[in-house]
């Protein structure tokens, strides 16, 4: 069952919330108007995608990237969106970076912890050996990495 692209709607609850927050308190929106805006938003995305894709193809790229979309906004005469979009993009990149660093840090911590535990057990063995041998083997560098 093929759906037409403009039938792919964005969730009504979210659309409604965005509309209500954009408007003053006490203003309502009819169901028809809301669904019309929802469809318009879908068409907007489709149109922007198509525009952005043109820029990507011009750049001989197969993957749409953020700057393609920003160029599309300009092409569509939505320049007023460009600044807020750039800000949002930076915040998004920071968040992504933060997430990546957090998971890398977790991994590092885990690795460090694992190797520390290994060192500890090695040390204990060494101490035992020291007692037996009475040798001066307190140099941890003995352990080869």
Binding site for another protein (CB under 8 A): 5-6, 8, 10-15, 17-19, 21-24, 26-30, 32-33, 36-37, 39-50, 52-53, 57, 62-66, 68-70, 73, 76-78, 80-81, 83-85, 87-89, 91-95, 98
Helices 66-75, 79-133: axis angle to 10 degrees equals 170
The nearest distance, CB 130 to another protein, in angstroms, is 48
Nearer to another protein, 46 or 143 (CB): 46
The nearest distance, CB 9 to another protein, in angstroms, is 8
Output DSSP code: residue 6.
Answer: G
With 0-12 / 13-18 / 19 or more C-beta atoms within 10 angstroms meaning exposed / middle / buried, residue 34 is: middle
Structure tokens at 102: 């957090």
The SS3 call for residue 62 is coil
Nearer to another protein, 64 or 126 (CB): 64
The nearest distance, CB 61 to another protein, in angstroms, is 9
- Residue 137 near residue 126, CB atoms below 8 Å: yes
The Cα 49–Cα 56 span in angstroms is 10
Nearer to another protein, 92 or 111 (CB): 92
Structure tokens at 14: 């979210």
The nearest distance, CB 111 to another protein, in angstroms, is 24
Nearer to another protein, 60 or 131 (CB): 60
- Residue 85 near residue 73, CB atoms below 8 Å: yes
């Amino acid at each position: 069952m093929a759906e037409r692209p403009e039938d792919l709607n964005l969730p009504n609850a979210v659309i409604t919330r965005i509309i209500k927050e954009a408007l003053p308190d006490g203003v309502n929106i009819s169901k028809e108007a809301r669904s019309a805006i929802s469809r318009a938003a879908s068409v907007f995305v489709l149109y922007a995608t198509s525009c952005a894709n043109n820029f990507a193809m011009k750049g001989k790229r197969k993957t749409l990237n953020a700057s393609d979309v920003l160029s599309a906004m300009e092409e569509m005469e939505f320049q007023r969106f460009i600044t807020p979009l750039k800000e949002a993009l930076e915040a998004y990149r920071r968040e992504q970076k933060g997430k990546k660093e957090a998971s890398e840090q977790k991994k590092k911590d885990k690795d460090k912890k694992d190797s520390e535990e290994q060192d500890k057990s090695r040390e204990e063995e060494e101490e035992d050996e020291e007692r037996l041998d009475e040798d001066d083997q307190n140099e941890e560098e003995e352990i080869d990495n």
